[in-house]
Amino acid sequence: MHALLAHCRTALTVFLLLSVITGLAYPLVVTLAAQSLFASQTRGSLIHDRADDEGNVSGETVIGSSLIGQPFASPGHFWSRPSATAPMPYNGSASGGSNLGANNPQLLDAVRARIAALRAADPDNRAPVPVDLVTASASGLDPDISLAAAVYQSARVARARGIDITAVQTLIEQLAQRPWLGIVGEPRVNVVALNRALDAAR
């Protein structure tokens, strides 16, 4: 009995000590160090815009994060990947994927509808649709599309904006990210950055 009590006392003191070290001191020290080294990144890589909807400069408004995607539906913007978050796409409070299996009729219906929507917005484009543009991402917040998905949309975007397609393709090329040595990473472009660049060029 005495031995059991000693066991309990030791377990409790070790538990409390390590809890304070790993549960309080550790995250606090990491926060201090990380915020002094990487101020912007630790706070969410936020993008600020000085103008509000009416174009009035009114202090710093957060218009997103360079790491988090946003939904786009107008033909003059590049569309992001489908997002399965509920109740609305790109809901930052409820990240996640569709979790639909490969044979699920819901998945096949959704992909069919997405392909139809892309074709309706760009009837002349008969090319097969890059798969990432019609499948939901894992996080529901994917900031990127593949370069194939950007190229696929470039004619529609150029037409909607009344600009030359080469201007659109040049922007894609400027913002494109490619795998390091062909190994680490994928060919992709950040949709928020791409659409902001389009809007800025106007």
Partner 1 sequence: MTAPITLQMVLLLGGYLALVWGLAQPMGRWLAAVADGAPTRLRRVEAGLFRLCGIDATREQGWRGYALSLLLFNALGVVAVYALQRLQAVLPLNPQALPAVAPDSALNTAISFVTNTNWQGYAGESTMSHLTQMLGLGVQNFLSAATGIAVAFALMRAFARQGTGTLGSFPVDVVRITLYVLLPLSFVLALVFAGQGVIQNFSPDVSARLIEPWLQADGSTLTTQTLPMGPVASQEAIKMLGTNGGGFMNANSSHPFENPTPWSNLLQMVVIFLIPAGLCVAFGRMVGDRRQGHALLAAMTLLFVIAVLGIMAFEQSGNPKLAALGADTAASALQPGGNMEGKEARFGIAASALFAAITTAASCGAVNAMHASLTPLAGGIAMLLMQLGEVVFGGVGSGLYGMLLFAVLAVFIAALMTGRSPEYLGKKIEPAEMKRVSIALLVTPLLVLIGTAIAVSTDAGRAGLLNPGAAGLSEVLYAFSSAANNNGSAFAGLSANTPFYNTALGIAMALGRFAVIVPVLALAGALAARKRTPRETVVGNAAALPTHGPLFIVLLVLTVLLVGALTYLPALALGPVVEHINMIH
Site for partner 1 in 32-91 (CB under 8 A): 33-35, 37-38, 41-47, 49, 52-53, 61-65, 67-74, 77, 81, 88-91
Q: Is residue 26 within the footprint of partner 1 (CB under 8 A)?
A: yes
CA 3, distance to chain mean position in Å, is 56
Which of 164, 199 has the CB closer to partner 1?
A: 199
- For residues 65 and 159, which CB has a smaller minimum distance to partner 1 in the complex? 65
DSSP 8-state code for residue 145: E
Q: Which is nearer to partner 1, 12 or 57 (CB)?
A: 12
Contact pick of 56, 59, 103, 124 for partner 1 (by CB under 8 A): 103
| Binding residue for partner 1, selected from 160, 161, 175, 187, defined by CB under 8 A | 187
Q: Annotate 12-79 with DSSP letters as a single string.
A: HHHHHHHHIIIIIIHHHHHHHHHHHH-HHHHTT-EEEEEE-TTS-EEEEEEEEETTS-----STTS--
CA distance 159 to 130: 20
Site string for partner 1, 116-155 (x = CB under 8 A): -----------xxxxxx-xxxxxxxxxxxxxxxx-x----
Distances (CA, A) of 48 to 37, 115, 191: 20, 33, 16
